[in-house]
Amino acid sequence: MADITTQALPSETSPRPTTGWRALRRYPLFPLAILVFFLVIPAVFAPLVAPFDPYQGSLRARLIPPFWQEGGTTEHLLGTDKLGRDMLSRVIYGARVSITVSMIAIIVSGIIGAGLGLVSGYFGGRTDSVVMRLVDISLSLPTILLALVLSAALGPSFATVLIVISVLLWARYARLVRAETLAIKELDFIARARVAGASHMRIMLVYILPNLVNSLVVLATLQVGYVILLESTLSFLGAGLPRAEPAWGLMVADGRELIVTAWWVSMLPGIAIMLTVLSLNLLGDWLRDHFDPKLKNL
């Protein structure tokens, strides 16, 4: 009887090789490294790592190019702007501004949105209708127009930016939390908690809210990049932070008229925005895949 040699066929369910863009999404080391280098370290240690005061300049040192270009100097590694302020110092302090605005806005909007979404999804009925109409109104507000109106009424300030971003973000948290609460409250362990005599507040805070943490963390991570872009856009249009602040959006706006002769004034903060937002999106994708087992092999 002839020997029949069988060759194992690859399983259809085996995970596909992790290469290229899939590798960046699957492993968080790349986005985390960019975040630590461009956002966390500059934001925390800005007074120690910045070589100059970002607010002070010298007209005699205005528009010095980066050190690798002709006319550049190692004293100002990334050059200077039109007021002679050191670009490296301003980019470093810009990370502190971005992370401060992002963290405060996300915490405020997350608490408001998650609280309203939890109440809306749990109680339903008229409460749900009222909260969802408020969500629809918030999502329909024109971002730029709202920012310009508040800027004209209150003046460009840190508070104006936080109000605009918080008004726009809380509805996203409310919708996510409401949708998941509607599903969770029908599960058996919630019914057993009701039978055991648990109050509505205890059920929401002890039994439902912990099951929403993973989704809230993923959404918050993705929203940091959106907030940085939004803050930069508002500052670029003059409806955000005051002009003297070393914000990335303001720096891009300061150099838009010099893009041909002094490209670094706009390009360097623009690159910082791009790398930070890209890394945050990659990290958010990884967290989503990590917390959802159904997505791990996609």
What are the DSSP calls for 174-243, one per residue? HHHHHHHHHHHTTSHHHHHHHHTT--HHHIIIIIIGGGGHHHHHHHHHHHHHHHHHHHHHHHHTTSSS-T
- CA–CA dist 210, 277 (Å, integer): 28
Please state, rounded to an integer, the average pLDDT across all residues of the chain.
80
Mean pLDDT of 55-59: 84
pLDDT, position 114:
92
- CA–CA dist 275, 37 (Å, integer): 10
pLDDT, position 175:
92
Does pLDDT of 19 surpass 70? no
pLDDT, position 117:
92
Does pLDDT of 155 surpass 80? no
Tokens 């039978």: give the residue.
195
pLDDT, position 1:
45
Classify residue 174: in a domain, yes or no: yes
Is residue 285 left, alpha or beta, with left meaning phi > 0 and alpha meaning psi from -120 to 50? alpha
Classify residue 169: in a domain, yes or no: yes
Domain count, the chain: 1
- What pLDDT digit, counting tens, does each position of 99-151 carry? 888 888 889 999 999 999 999 999 988 989 999 999 998 888 887 787 778 77
Residue 16, token pair as written in the block = 């596909």
- What pLDDT digit, counting tens, does each position of 257-272 carry? 888 888 888 888 888 8
Percent of the chain with pLDDT over 70: 85
Range ranked top by mean pLDDT from 167-171, 240-244, 294-298 = 167-171
* CATH number (domain holding residue 137): 1.10.3720.10
Classify residue 103: in a domain, yes or no: yes
pLDDT, position 25:
52
- CA–CA dist 164, 241 (Å, integer): 12
Written as one string, the DSSP assignment of the chain is -------PPPPTTSPPP--HHHHHHH-SHHHHHHHIIIIIHHHHSHHHH-SS-TT---GGGTTPPPTTSTT-BTTBTT-B-TT--BHHHHHHHHHHHHHHHHHHHHHHHHHHHHHHHHHHHHH-HHHHHHHHHHHHHHHHS-HHHHHHHHHHHH-S-HHHHHHHHHHHHHHHHHHHHHHHHHHHTTSHHHHHHHHTT--HHHIIIIIIGGGGHHHHHHHHHHHHHHHHHHHHHHHHTTSSS-TTS--HHHHHHHTGGGTTT-THHHHHHHHHHHHHHHHHHHHHHHHHHHH-GGGTT-
Bridge partners, residue 76, by sequence: 73
pTM of the model: 0.76
Classify residue 138: in a domain, yes or no: yes
- What pLDDT digit, counting tens, does each position of 204-220 carry? 998 999 888 888 888 88
Q: How confident is the model at residue 46 (pLDDT cuts 50, 70, 90)?
A: confident
pLDDT, position 181:
92
Structural domain span for residue 290:
81-295
Mean pLDDT of 276-289: 77
pLDDT, position 113:
92
Classify residue 43: in a domain, yes or no: no
How many other C-beta atoms can be found within 10 angstroms of the C-beta atom of residue 12? 5
- What pLDDT digit, counting tens, does each position of 79-112 carry? 888 888 999 889 888 888 888 888 888 899 999 9
Classify residue 190: in a domain, yes or no: yes
Does pLDDT of 187 surpass 60? yes
Classify residue 10: in a domain, yes or no: no
Q: How confident is the model at residue 178 (pLDDT cuts 50, 70, 90)?
A: very high
Nearest to 279 by CA among 222, 214, 213, 215: 222
Nearest to 229 by CA among 265, 281, 287, 194: 281
Classify residue 40: in a domain, yes or no: no
Tokens 């992002």: give the residue.
102
- CA–CA dist 243, 166 (Å, integer): 22
Mean pLDDT of 193-202: 88
